[in-house]
Amino acid sequence: MQIFKFGGASVKNAEGVRNLGRVVQSFNKGLIIVVSAMGKTTNKLEELVEIAHGGKDYREPLEELKAYHRGITSSLLEKIPLHYLELEAKLENTLSDLSQYDPMFAYDRVVPFGELMSTTIISSYLNEKRNFCCWLDARTVIRTDQYFSEANVDWVITERQVWEVLSSLIKEKVVITQGFIGSDAEGNSTTLGREGSDYTGAILAHCLNADGFTVWKDVPGILNADPRIMEETVQYARLSYREATEMTYYGAQVIHPKTLKPIAQKSIPLTVRSFLDHDLSGTIISSEGIKKDIPCFIFKGNQLLVTAQVKDHSFMDEKKLGFILQVLDLLNIKINLMQNSALTFSLCIDNKGFKVKRIKELLSRDFILSFEHSLNLATIKNYTPESFEKLPPNLSVIMEQKTANNYQVLYRSEDQDETS
């Protein structure tokens, strides 16, 4: 049994959906297809959440979203599926009263519509060509807590529900379902964090003891740098679970950071392959990795440096550090880089406005806080002397750290003061 995951870029238009059909055409059972929202739909839905939650007029971006999906549908099908039309109506109804909810709860009420719409269109297309596909609402099997927008999986309940629903169904049909989404114990929609469709595939692979999990991307495999940033890249033929986990920890975007643990626990191989060229072998992630360390370059923009300074001139001791870390854990914030001195603790995080506001609310009583915006973070894993030449020139260094294997530098790319 296999799990295939297709991201938004692979189904951004009608030809992408047809290509998905060609990839899965040899299957009539024993396959679960996990699909993301089409193209940049999640971005558009996030825009709709912000507008509707603020009580503003969202009709124009909503109509643009509907027109985009209907355009793809009309290229694939003779008529628009009824199930899709029902989803459009539910989305409009959800947006109409969104302002009464907490922002993150509102987010998770709206954003899952992207995956629900894409899988509805694709399953209708596959079944019109060859009736072999069963559509499944992932929210009926993946149970989470109520950390809306970055929910944690309840593994005990999820494993039971996945097995009860899917173990027999996949013996008869190909199943298509959504990445990124689940539901809490009260039936509210939840999301697993941005780019979380990979994680969904890993959850299903783990629960069903899959033979393999394949992520289909617009790259030939896992590269040692983003080809949009660096011209000369090297593809990895194999990576170990540990090597790949470290790359995702530092911010590599090829796979979601939570993806590897569930499949590593069951020794399920993960293959990253090109949906543009099915003949390429891709990159295999398994227990065995490469023998030679290849420098890996990871660049992250929109970084925020938060510095907490003690108010009473006492030391930044373990108790104070522990309190700060508890707050970050409460807010589900990952630290990308950190450094402490006698009186301060500085940490680099992804700049998410709503979380920064909560940091201020929870830490300002005990610490003097300062913030530096619009920063960039570069990481070189397994660096060599030559690899530093590939960093951007004339860096204005804010913070840097170097170990035996890894180098990180937080820097500003523009000559402007962004301290607040």
pLDDT score for 169:
95
pLDDT (tens digit, 9 = 90+) per residue, 168-221? Answer: 999 999 999 999 999 999 999 999 988 889 999 999 999 999 999 999 998 899
- Tell whether the model's pLDDT for residue 280 goes beyond 50: yes
Nearest to 378 by CA among 230, 196, 232, 245: 230
Beta bridge partners, 300, equal 377
pLDDT score for 419:
47
Q: Looking at residues 370-395, what average pLDDT do you find?
A: 93
pTM of the model: 0.87
- Tell whether the model's pLDDT for residue 270 goes beyond 90: yes
- Tell whether the model's pLDDT for residue 416 goes beyond 60: no
Q: Rounded to whole angstroms, how far apart are CA atoms 322 and 15?
A: 52
- Tell whether the model's pLDDT for residue 15 goes beyond 60: yes
Collect all residues with Cβ–Cβ distance below 8 Å to 192 and sequence separation of at least 6.
144, 150, 151, 153, 180, 181, 182, 199, 200, 258
- The torsion angle over the Cα atoms of residues 372, 378, 379 and 380, rounded to 10 degrees, is -150
Q: Rounded to whole angstroms, how far apart are CA atoms 224 and 235?
A: 6
- Tell whether the model's pLDDT for residue 420 goes beyond 70: no
* Selected residue with higher pLDDT from 122 and 331: 122
Are 87 and 120 a contacting pair, CB within 8 Å? yes
* Selected residue with higher pLDDT from 292 and 325: 325
Question: What confidence category does residue 291 fall into, taking pLDDT thresholds of 50, 70 and 90?
Answer: low
Collect all residues with Cβ–Cβ distance below 8 Å to 242 and sequence separation of at least 6.
289
- Tell whether the model's pLDDT for residue 415 goes beyond 70: no
Most confident region among 14-18, 191-195, 330-334 by mean pLDDT: 14-18
pLDDT above 70 covers what percent of the chain?
A: 98
pLDDT score for 353:
76
Question: What confidence category does residue 222 fall into, taking pLDDT thresholds of 50, 70 and 90?
Answer: very high
Q: Looking at residues 383-403, what average pLDDT do you find?
A: 92
pLDDT above 90 covers what percent of the chain?
A: 83
Question: What confidence category does residue 129 fall into, taking pLDDT thresholds of 50, 70 and 90?
Answer: confident
Q: Rounded to whole angstroms, how far apart are CA atoms 295 and 227?
A: 14
Radius of gyration of the chain (CA): 23
Q: Look up residue 267 and give its two tokens.
A: 């020794």
Which H helix or E strand runs over 151? none
- Tell whether the model's pLDDT for residue 292 goes beyond 80: no
Nearest to 411 by CA among 300, 335, 315, 306: 300
pLDDT (tens digit, 9 = 90+) per residue, 32-41? Answer: 999 999 999 9
Are 408 and 400 a contacting pair, CB within 8 Å? yes
Are 13 and 76 a contacting pair, CB within 8 Å? no
The Cβ of residue 69 has, within 10 Å, a number of other Cβ atoms equal to 22
Q: Are strands 396-402 and 406-412 parallel, antiparallel or unpaired?
A: antiparallel
- DSSP letters, 16-70, are HHHHHHHHHTT-SSSEEEEE--STTHHHHHHHHHHHHHTT---HHHHHHHHHHHH
Question: What confidence category does residue 414 fall into, taking pLDDT thresholds of 50, 70 and 90?
Answer: low
pLDDT score for 394:
83
Q: Looking at residues 271-297, what average pLDDT do you find?
A: 88
Residue with tokens 């969202």: 58
Beta bridge partners, 240, equal 286
- Tell whether the model's pLDDT for residue 417 goes beyond 70: no
Are 336 and 377 a contacting pair, CB within 8 Å? yes
Q: For all residues of the chain together, what is the average pLDDT?
A: 93
pLDDT score for 256:
84
Question: What confidence category does residue 232 fall into, taking pLDDT thresholds of 50, 70 and 90?
Answer: confident
Give residue 337's region: left, alpha or beta (phi > 0; psi -120 to 50): beta
| C-alpha distances out from residue 29 to 153, 175, 268, 402, Å | 27, 8, 19, 50
Q: Rounded to whole angstroms, how far apart are CA atoms 150 and 295?
A: 31
